Amino acid sequence: MIEDAGIKQRMASLSSEELCNILRSQNSGYSARALELAADELRTRTLQAPSAAEAFAVPGEPSPSGIGPTSSASLEPTGIGGWLIVPLLGLLFTAVQQLSSLASHFRIFSHLVTSSPPARGDVIALCVYYVLKNLVLGLGGTVTLYLFARKHRLVPRLMVSLYVALMVFASLESVGALLFARYPALQPLVALLGSPFRSLVISMLSGALWITYFTNSVRVSNTFGKPAGPMVA
């Protein structure tokens, strides 16, 4: 056993090329036991050495052997999928709705300004408000939609900004409805505002939900390159 330990140590100190030369040589001067230990040492090194393809594998890419990924990072969700589809559809709907409303409100505004006698100033002001709202949300949504398809790194910030804008507009309309309701002469404006309080509740709930998602989602982080906490996929 002591002799085998010495031979093993000797073989371990040799390079793989030297071990191959010993095994190929007919008159190497080594005993049969030494040759057996040399073969074991060479076999052990062969089993432990990674293949050339695996040695140069890119982290996060599938393993060349087809067994699995070279890194756990490839297991994380990425790309436009999962829950990310929901705000994408909402963004598409918002952009189309606001741009169509923009054309409608602009026609109304032009009619109010050119009508004879001229329309009341408060009605014109409310129409201007809606035109500005449609511009902000419609054009902002369209730009964000384009960048969304390009997986641009600014998308998370733009989405958060749009949700904040929706909440601000809903809050302004709710406050306006409360103020207008106090004056009988402004009752027509209350009717024009529709149901601002329902819109406020919906925008607040959806804004809180999706702002949290875009600031904490791993999928958002992997897709758009924005640092995020490892909470939601």
Mean pLDDT across the stretch 22-27?
66
pLDDT at 233 over 50: no
The pLDDT, as a whole number, for residue 136 is 93
Q: 158-211, pLDDT tens digit by residue?
A: 999 999 999 999 888 888 777 666 655 555 555 555 666 777 888 899 999 999
Q: Is 137 helix (H, G, I), strand (E, B) or coil?
A: helix
Reported as a pLDDT band with limits 50, 70 and 90, residue 32 is confident
Mean pLDDT across the stretch 218-222?
91
The pLDDT, as a whole number, for residue 195 is 67
For residue 107, give Cα distances in angstroms to 86, 93, 115, 192: 32, 22, 12, 16
Q: Is 27 helix (H, G, I), strand (E, B) or coil?
A: coil
Q: 82-114, pLDDT tens digit by residue?
A: 899 999 999 999 999 888 888 887 777 676 666
DSSP state of 217: B
DSSP state of 117: S
Task: Measure the CA–CA gap between 91 and 43, rounded to whole angstroms.
Answer: 60
Q: What is the mean pLDDT of the chain?
A: 75
pLDDT at 30 over 80: no
pLDDT at 6 over 80: no
Higher-pLDDT residue of 70, 96:
96
Q: Is the pTM of this model over 0.75?
A: no
Task: Measure the CA–CA gap between 176 and 125, rounded to whole angstroms.
Answer: 12
